[in-house]
Structure 1
C-alpha cells in the first residue's frame, strides 16, 4: 500500500525527487517540484493548474487527458469567487430522517460537536451539515421548527467556532414524499419559503454556505429544475443574505460526471440577484466504488478523468467554480490510494474546484462502511490519515 502521507510530504518539498513517482504531480501553475516522471509514466497536463504522472509513452499525451489540453498557451483566468481553498468532512446525523424519496422519519441524531475542533485541529475548514426538510419546516410554507432549529444551530455554531465554513444542506433529493419540487410536488414558492426563512436566519453568518438541495435524481424536466433552483437563489438574496456563496446542484444524484451534459447547461442560466456568478457555485458529488453509489468499501477509480472534464467545462463556461461536497471510500488500501489521488487533484485544481468534503463523520460510528468518524480513543480512521488529511488546505 502506498503511503499517501509520504506522498504528500514529497509534494510539499520542492525538488525532493529528481523524478516524480507514479500519479504524482509534475507540473501546473506555481509548481516548483519535479517535472519529469519515473518510467513508464509521462507528465500529462490535466489543466493549467495540475499535471500528473500518468501511464503513457514518451512524447505521447495520455488518452485520459487528451481532450483537456488547450490549443492556446495562455493560462486560464482565475475565477473571481471569494472562497478560500476548502477541505473537510460531512457530519451526518440530522439527515438520518430523510429518505431518498424525500419522505421523513423522525430519527435524526445530533452530530458530536467535539468532532469540529478535532478535525479543524488537523486543517479541516469545511463542514457540511445535512438535515431533512420536514424536520426543519414541518408545514410547507409555514414557520421553521424552532425546537429543531435550536439543535441545528448548536451544531452549526460549534463548526463555525473553528473559523471554518459550514454548508447548510437540505438533504431531500429535490422532492418531498416522492414528489419533485416544481414538477407535481412542492411548488417553487413553497421551496423558496424554506430558503427565505433559513437565509434570513443565517444572513449575518458570512461563513455559512447555502446548499440548495442534496442529490436531485430522476428529475424529468431539467429546465424546470433550474427554475426551482432560481427560486431558491432569489429567496436567499431577498432575505438579506448577500455575502454567502450558494451551491446549486445538478441531476443524477448531483453527479460531477453528468453535470456538463445533463443539468449543467440549464443551470448556467441561473442568475444571482446581487450580480455576477462568482457566488453561485456548482455542487457536485462523485464516489469511487464500482457503481458510484458510495456503498462499497473498495475503490476502483481516482476520478481524475471525470474531474478533469468537469474543470474544463467550468473554465469554458464563464470560468465557473464547483465544490465536491460528497466523495469518499472505505478504509481499504484501494480507497486510501484512489481517494488520495482524487483529493490531490481537487487541491491542485483550485480555484476552479474550491474544495471538498468527504462522506462521512458525525453520528456514524467506526463500523459504517465509509466512516471517517474518530475512534472512541480519539484516533482517526486510516482513510482520513492517509488520504484526506494530506490534502486539507
Structure 2
C-alpha cells in the first residue's frame, strides 16, 4: 500500500478512536452523575454560616462563610443531594423586636438557589441550642411567641422554594429545664399557619443525643396538623458523645449502631419518621471509619436518612471534615458512597410489629 493510501486510513482510524473515547467518557460521566436507586438517604451538613456564634451579627467572610457553587457541585457529582444547612438566629434577626435582616436572608435564598440548580435539597437548621443571645427559649427574655414569630417569617419567605426540603427548628437544645417541648410546639404551630407542606424536623433535648433519647425525650410527641414531622437525633462515637475525639481513640465497630438503637426503637414504637442529622468520625481512624460503615448500613436497613458533619467552606484539614483537600476525596467519602444506593421508597423506620 502506498503512503498516499495509508494517510486517509490513518486519519479515519484517529477519528474513529476519538469518537469512541468521547462516547465512553460521556457514558462514564453519565453513570457517575446518574441518580442512585431508592431515596436520598446520605447527606451532609454544609457548615460555615454558623461559625463564630459568639460574634453576632459578625462579618461574612471574616467570622462566618456561605458556600459557593463549587461546594454544591462537588456533592452533586457524588450523588449527595441532602444538605443540612446551619445558620444563626441572631444573624437572621439582630433583635427580637426587629424584622429579618435583609442581607442574611438574601444569602440564605442564594444558598437555596444554588442547591436547586444542582438538584439538591436544603434543610434549614437554626443552630442555636435552644437559646437566643444565651437566654433559653420560653424564658421571660425569649418568650415562645418570639421564637414562633421568627419561624413564621422564615416559612413565609422560603415556602415552596425548589431547593427547600425542610425546617430544622433548633439544633441540639440542651439543659432547657423542661421548656423545649413547648418551644417546639410553638414553632410547629407558627410554621403551619403559613406552610402546610414542608417537613419540620424536631430535635430532642440533651444535645439531641440518639443514645440518651429515651432518658430525656420519651414524651417528645409534638402535634402537627399536616402530619409531616421528622424527628432528628445526633450521634458521635467518642467517649463523651461530643465529637471531640482523642488522637488515638479506637472503638468497637458496632458502637454507632448501639448508640443509634434507642432512638430508632423509639421511632418504631411510635410509628414516626427519623433522621440522623449529625455524625462524624476522624479521617485517620480505621476503627471509626468501620463503625461509620456499620452505622450507615443500619440506618439504610431502616430507611433513615442522615447527614455527615461536615462539609462546606472554612474547615481546612479538620479531622472530621469531608471537604476534599487539593482535589482529593477524604476517606469518609468512600464510606458514604457505599451507602447511597438503597431500596427504600419512603423515610423510615417502619413501625414495630
Mark yes or no: TM-score above 0.5: yes
**Counterpart mapping for 1:60-139 below 5 A:** 84-99=39-54, 104=56, 106=58, 107-139=63-95
In structure 1, the residue matched to 2:244 is 295
Q: Is 1:305 aligned with 2:305?
A: no
Match of 2:193 in 1: 238
Distance (whole Å) between structure 1 residues aligned to residue 314 and residue 103 of structure 2: 23
Q: Output the CA distance in 1 between the equivalents of 2:140 and 2:84.
A: 29
Q: Is the CA contact (8 Å cut-off) linking 2:112 and 2:161 kept in structure 1? A: no
Residues 215 and 249, structure 1, Cα contact 8 Å, conserved in 2: yes
Q: Hey, what does 1:344 align to over in structure 2?
A: 297
Quick check: 1:225 aligned with 2:173?
no
Name 1:372's counterpart in structure 2.
322
Distance 1:283 1:300 in 2: 24
C-alpha change, 1:321 and 1:299, in structure 2 (3 Å) is: farther
Cα drift, residue 182 of structure 1: 0.2
Listed as ranges, the matches of 1:37-52 within 5 Å are none
Structure with greater proportional helix content = 2
In structure 2, the CA distance between the partners of 1:105 and 1:142, relative to structure 1 (3 Å rule), is closer
1:141 CA displacement: 4.1
1: CA distance between counterparts of 2:238 and 2:250? 4
Aligned equivalents of 2:224, 2:83: Cα separation in 1: 24
The aligned counterpart of 2:168 is 211
Q: In structure 2, what is the Cα distance between the partners aligned to 1:383 and 1:217?
A: 28
Distance change in 2, residues 1:299/1:147 (3 Å): farther
Q: Distance in 1 between matches of 2:182 and 2:205?
A: 14
* Per-residue Cα deviation, 1:230-256 (whole angstroms, up to 9, x for no partner): 1100111112x2211100111111111
Number of paired residues? Answer: 294
SS at match of 1:261: helix
2:208 corresponds to: 254
TM-fit CA distance, 1:263: 2.2
Q: Which runs of 4+ in 1 moved over 6 A?
A: none
Describe the SS at the equivalent of 2:201.
Answer: strand
What is the CA-CA distance between 1:347 and the residue it aligns to?
1.2
User: Residue 329 in 1 paired to residue 281 in 2?
Assistant: yes
Normalising by the residue count of structure 2, what TM-score does the alignment of the two structures yield? 0.79
CA contact (8 A) 2:90 2:133 kept: no
Shift of 1:312: 1.7
- 1:29-75 deviations in Å (ceiling 9; x for gaps): xxxxxxxxxxxxxxxxxxxxxxxxxxxxxxxxxxxxxxxxxxxxxxx
Residue of structure 2 aligned with 1:193, choices 149, 155, 159: 149
Displacement, 1:305?
A: 1.6
Maintained 8 Å contact 1:364/1:371: no
Residue 184 of structure 1: CA displacement? 3.9
Cα RMSD (Å): 1.9
Instruction: Name the structure 2 match of 1:171.
Output: 127
Contact 1:128 1:167 in 2 (8 A): yes
Q: Do the aligned partners of residues 244 and 372 (structure 1) sit closer, same or farther apart at CA in structure 2, a change above 3 Å counting?
A: same
Is 1:141–1:194's contact at 8 Å kept on the other side of the alignment?
no
Q: Compute the displacement of 1:175 (Å).
A: 0.5
- Runs of 5+ in structure 2 lacking a partner? 1-37, 342-353
Indicate whether 1:390 and 2:338 are aligned.
Answer: yes
Residue 109 of structure 2, aligned match among 133, 136, 153: 153
Larger Rg belongs to: 2
- Of 155-164 and 225-234, more deviation after overlay is shown by 155-164
**Alpha-carbon distance between aligned partners in 1 of 2:141 and 2:274, rounded to the nearest angstrom:** 28
**Following the alignment from structure 1 to structure 2, what is the Cα–Cα distance between the partners of residues 264 and 193?**
27
TM-score by length of 1: 0.71
